[in-house]
Amino acid sequence: MNDLPPMKSIRVFEACIRLGNFTRAARELNVGQPAISHQIHSLEQDLGIKLFERRGSIAIPTAEAMTYYRTIASSLADMARASVAIRKKARERGLTLATYPGIAMFWLLPRLSRVRQLNRELAIRVTTAERDRDIPLDEVDCAILFGDGNWPGYRSHLLFREVVVPVAAPAVAARLEGASRADILTKGPLIHLEDHEQRWFSWSDWRNRRSPETRDIDSGITVTNHGIAIHQALMGHGVALGWKGVIDEMTENRLLLVLDPEPMASERGYYLVTSEDFLETRIGTLVFQSLCRDGDTPSGARNGS
């Protein structure tokens, strides 16, 4: 063991080669680029060789580095597979499900109570992340993700489509009663979702479809996920775009009021995403029956491979 370099340096080295440069490695490992350079320098000192040739701002791996990388990458892949297998075995009596914070809070958790009612001994763990790349599909039993249904190597089943309407708490809705679509857009305050990849509907999309003549829209409040957006709307802080299927219970109980009844829809949606064989297990069938629409069967799930 004393012959092994520090694992931190090995991880940094592997990421630099795999991703092609120090900047991408820093982004993936969530550290600054100086920290990457420091770890590479430490590894070079430990091994006694140069791993990268610096040409201006570009670092090019040496032949020795590429030979070393092939062995390192293979060993790390073996470690990852062994770790995943151990984790899966450790949670055989439980269920781990991953999704976004808003879906977990307002849609998933109430439905998981059905699973608990049918199997009270089942331990359930819900993990959340705002970005898909932070949801480890190979480490969870299933996930609820947003997209077009295509996740290569996994099965997917549509839970509900992307259908949105503007919603607000009763006090805000009363203030905007009788307001035109242009008034909603300009007076707000609007609650915006920070979405750099432009995956979900935004207020700009709603403006383009419902009130294209309106040039400027209220800058309002910007939040990082749908859960915060809905919570802000519930607290009376503004108008949010609410997802049908997520906000149904809140609108039925008049905690949120719909300001424009004409929904805006796309072909995207939220899907239950699982491994190839999860739906064939007892727990998988239980989850499927609890989360999916009445009458659906696991055989109707879509294969994304």
Cis peptide before 189 (omega within 30 of 0): yes
Residue 8: C-alpha distances to residues 14, 18, 29, 44, 227 (Å): 10, 15, 10, 13, 35
User: Residue 300: what pLDDT?
Assistant: 47
User: Residue 148: what pLDDT?
Assistant: 92
The DSSP call for residue 51 is -
Cβ atoms 36, 21 nearer than 8 A: no
User: Residue 305: what pLDDT?
Assistant: 41
Per residue in 225-241, pLDDT (tens digit) is: 888 999 999 999 999 99
Distance CA 109, CA 97 (A): 11
User: Residue 294: what pLDDT?
Assistant: 45
Domains of the chain and any CATH numbers: 7-89 (1.10.10.10), 92-305 (3.40.190.290)
Residue 187: C-alpha distances to residues 39, 177, 181, 232, 239 (Å): 52, 12, 10, 16, 10
User: Residue 291: what pLDDT?
Assistant: 84
Question: Nearest to residue 257, comparing CAs of 194, 176, 162, 196?
Answer: 176
The pTM is what? 0.65
* Averages of pLDDT over each 10 residues, the chain, 305 residues: 85 91 90 92 92 85 92 88 72 78 87 76 85 86 92 91 95 92 92 88 93 91 90 94 90 94 92 87 83 55 53
Distance CA 229, CA 241 (A): 8
User: Residue 289: what pLDDT?
Assistant: 81
Residue at 136: amino acid letter: P
